[in-house]
Amino acid sequence: MKNLVKTSKVIAAELRQAERSINLAARDTAQFLLTTLDATEAHELSPAMSHRTIKATIGALSALAESQSQMAIRAHTSAEAAGRELGLDVTAWGGSAPKPSTAMLEESMAAA
- For residue 96, the model assigns a pLDDT of 54
CA atoms within 13 A on the CB side of 45: 13
- For residue 101, the model assigns a pLDDT of 47
Helix (H) or strand (E) holding 22: helix 4-42
Tell me if 22 sits within 8 A of 67, measured CB to CB: yes
Contacts of 6 (CB under 8 A, 6+ apart): none
- For residue 31, the model assigns a pLDDT of 92
- pLDDT single digits (tens) 29-62: 889 888 988 888 898 888 787 888 888 888 988 8
pTM reported for the whole predicted model = 0.58
